[in-house]
Chains A and B, each alone.
Chain A
Amino acid sequence: MLKRILTIFARDLKVNMREFLTLYMMIIPLILAVGINFISPSINDTSVNLALVENENPKQAAYFDDFAHVELFSDEQRVEDRVRSRDDVVGILPKDNGYYIMTQGNEPESILEYAKLLNVLYESDVQLEDARSEIVEFGRTVPPLKKMLVNMLLLLISMLAGMLIAMNILEEKVDNTVSAINVTPTSRSAFILGKSFTGMFVALFSSIACLLITGFYDINLGQAALVVFSSTILSLLIGFIQGLNSNDVMEAAGSVKLLFLPLAGSIAGYEFVTGNWQIFFYWSPFYWAYKANDMILSKSGAWPQLILYIGIILAICGAVYAVLAPRIVKKLQ
């Protein structure tokens, strides 16, 4: 049986490689991981953007540069033009007895308060050298936003693995070979397992590679692989049902879009919904996978907690399989 499973896996891999699909699925997440590395430092350094008049007060510009992004313009009109642009830039301009703050009027309150605070600190001559404080750092280097993006990427990879399965099944359907499997010595379970291998292989390879590229090499990769594996099982299940239910790529594409909704909802729920309201997301395995990944990426992962999360994911997958199994078997007939 193992030989047959491997034959199906090798066959899928060969077909996918011929059309570069597996390669795309494996390489694109890596490109995204590089993209995350590229944008996250600048996002983490996000502060208030200030527009000042060049040479009007170089000391002030140098002072603000320690706390905010400073842009210098030749005159007040150009500062005003910059403030009027679509992004959030606040101007600090001279008046008779000091400086005033020029805003477009649509900036978030936090940005305006930050600019006011900086101007007050400057006017009060509060210098960094006079700081009555010390900072102790824990040595963490990965900012929360990067962690969030990497976590989203991991879930996306498991989704894509499901999509790969759906595409492979669809290809078999188009070639009318799904029913032909019934007259071969290959059992249904061997067929299902064989078809799943490509997705699992892609998911595990891409996830681990992305974690390494994004600098998470000191997390527990074993724990991460376990979560990826468990969330991929759900994607595989959905991939199978999508592939078997869809008659063409249009329908499969539409189903994938629907699948994005619980995924995006679970992430948004975990990140933005507070306290007791999170209970409304407990049904979603993506929620638990995201939570488990978050714990691992934060390096605060304890095995008992992780096993609980994985257990929940597998239990939900089991329930989904129990519901979908008769349909899968029927479609394979």
Chain B
Amino acid sequence: MKLLSSFKKELILASRSFYFYIELIFALVILAVLLFAVPENFSSTSTEYLYLNLPKEVKEIYTDTILESVPGIEPEEVELEADGKTYDAQLIVTDEEEIYIVDNEEAVRTLAYSEQVIGAVIELDDNNQPYYKYYLQGYESTRLKNLISILFNESTDVLEERIENQEVRPLSTDYEPLNDRENTLPPLIAFSGSLMGMFVMASYIFLDKNEGVIKAYAVTASPVWQYLMSKIFVILLTTVVSGLIIVMPIMGFRINYGLFLLLLLTTGFFASSLGLLIASFYNNLTKAFGVVYLLVILLMVPSIAYFIPGWDPVWIKIIPSYPLLQGFKEIILPNGDIAYPLIASAGFLTAGIILFAVTNIRFKKTLSV
């Protein structure tokens, strides 16, 4: 009952605070951005500059091959400017590429350098075989350079046919990918919702320390843990409301909200307990700033791995935000793995309880710092 009463009091105080409404406004702004500014799928076309140093007939065959790859496209005559010079070019736009065919090698070199994209000159060698000269920036990895250098050793038609005939055995076939808008949800929920709890919790405690509220608990019948828990409940409530504001309009009823709330609450509890623990070591936010700041940045690192498929070093996986991001992703994925968010929730809950217990001991001992 004391806990409930503390929670009610905290809730009333929070509802009078500017912060509570900022959280809700923030969630609404994110939702608006997602709905109106983030496309369902980002268009990612690459640009390349090409000079065909080939006999006229071969040149035409080459251009026709590109045009035939996407039915209905027409080349467009354009003018390009780089390094104070103007170059004429033929632009061919496919679904994946913007190919500019220019009239000389100097144009390829200048444009590839100034636009920082790949440039290529295609000519015939002594045996009348195609020979490729690539202009690269220099920062490309050795593996990528290796691939580029042999990519056209075989004819494109032969390569395409063999690629088509490759046997692929997927271990699961019921996977449906997320669109780009949906894919941005896990990091937003993780950082705006769950992990901000750490920062906010620490701020809450410092505010109360400043006003002497925590010291007052030394002379009340209510134990400190109930006071701390009531604070956590307020943050969890804010996290749940703002999380639902963002997720519901985008995902509708396609996800398991029970699982979503479970992960949101357990991760929020973990982050808040972490915030409490940090706050127990310092007098004010200014002093704790370095630790909070570094932790927030560290927790953000797994989001880089989240957006870069193929870059997933082992050390990233031990940062708590990694299972947090992956857990939210599994929840919003159609046919996602249910076990993963459940295990992650259990882990965050356990870690949260341990952190909370340690913090409680620290607060009981000091009642101030």
Contact = CB atoms under 8 A, between A and B. Distances in A.
Interface of A: 19-21, 24, 27-28, 31-32, 35, 39, 42-49, 66-69, 80, 83-84, 86-88, 95, 100-108, 110-113, 116-121, 123-124, 126-128, 130-144, 167, 174, 246-251, 253-255, 257-258, 261, 265, 269, 272-274, 280, 298, 300
Given A111-B310, A133-B134, A134-B133, A84 B26 contact: no
Nearest to A255: B22
Contact of A106 (B45, B177, B200): B177
Interface in B190-243: 196, 199-200, 203-204, 206-207, 210
Nearest to B139: A143
Contacts of B23: 254
B143 A132 contact: no
Contacts of B149: 128, 131, 133-135
B126 to A, nearest CB: 11
Contacts of A100: 166-169
A199 to B, nearest CB: 15
B246 to A, nearest CB: 13
B310 A113 contact: no
A119 B166 contact: yes
Nearest to A85: B312
- Ranked 6 nearest A-B pairs via Cβ: A87-B312, A254-B22, A105-B170, A133-B132, A24-B290, A105-B172
A86 B131 CA distance: 41
A103 B207 contact: no
B308 A46 contact: yes
Contact of B168 (A103, A247, A261): A103
A138 B116 CA distance: 9
Interface stretch (B248-256, B259-267, B281-289): B281-289
A139 B196 CA distance: 42
A278 to B, nearest CB: 12
B304 A39 contact: yes
Given A66-B146, A88-B312, A128-B150, A47 B290 contact: no
Contacts of A69: 310
A167 B131 contact: no
Interface in B103-124: 109, 112-114, 116
B136 A136 contact: yes
B148 interface: yes
Interface string B26-62: 1001100100010000110100000000000000000
A174 to B, nearest CB: 8
B134 A46 contact: no
A261 B23 CA distance: 12
Given A88-B309, A95-B167, A44 B200 contact: no
B292 to A, nearest CB: 10
Contacts of A66: 143, 146
Contacts of B72: none
B294 to A, nearest CB: 6
A11 to B, nearest CB: 15
Contacts of A132: 125, 129-132, 152-153
Most A CB within 10 A of own CB, among B25, B114, B138, B206: B138
B144 interface: yes
Contacts, number: 234
Contacts of A254: 18-19, 22-23
Contact of B287 (A20, A138, A143, A300): A20
Nearest to B120: A133
A52 to B, nearest CB: 15
Nearest to B137: A140
Contacts of A246: 18
Contact of A83 (B171, B175, B177): B171
A107 B309 contact: yes
A32 B312 contact: no
Nearest to B312: A87
Given A107-B309, A120-B159, A257-B26, A298 B116 contact: yes
Contacts of A86: 312, 326
Given A133-B149, A140-B116, A249-B206, 17 more contacts: A24-B293, A31-B294, A42-B313, A46-B308, A103-B169, A108-B309, A116-B166, A120-B159, A120-B162, A127-B150, A130-B153, A131-B150, A140-B137, A143-B139, A250-B18, A250-B207, A300-B114
Nearest to A27: B290
B2 interface: no
Contacts of A68: 143
Contacts of B293: 24, 28
B311 A43 contact: yes
18 contacts: A21-B286, A47-B141, A47-B144, A67-B147, A80-B171, A86-B312, A88-B309, A105-B170, A126-B150, A133-B134, A135-B133, A135-B134, A137-B135, A141-B138, A143-B139, A250-B18, A257-B26, A274-B43
A43 B308 contact: yes
Contact of A67 (B143, B206, B301, B311): B143
B158 to A, nearest CB: 8
Contacts of B289: 21, 24
B297 interface: yes
B8 interface: no
A46 B109 CA distance: 26
A253 B203 contact: yes
A7 B23 CA distance: 38
A132 B152 CA distance: 8
Q: Which of A103, A111, A298 has the most CB of B within 10 A?
A: A103
Contacts of B18: 246-247, 250-251, 254
Contacts of B130: 132
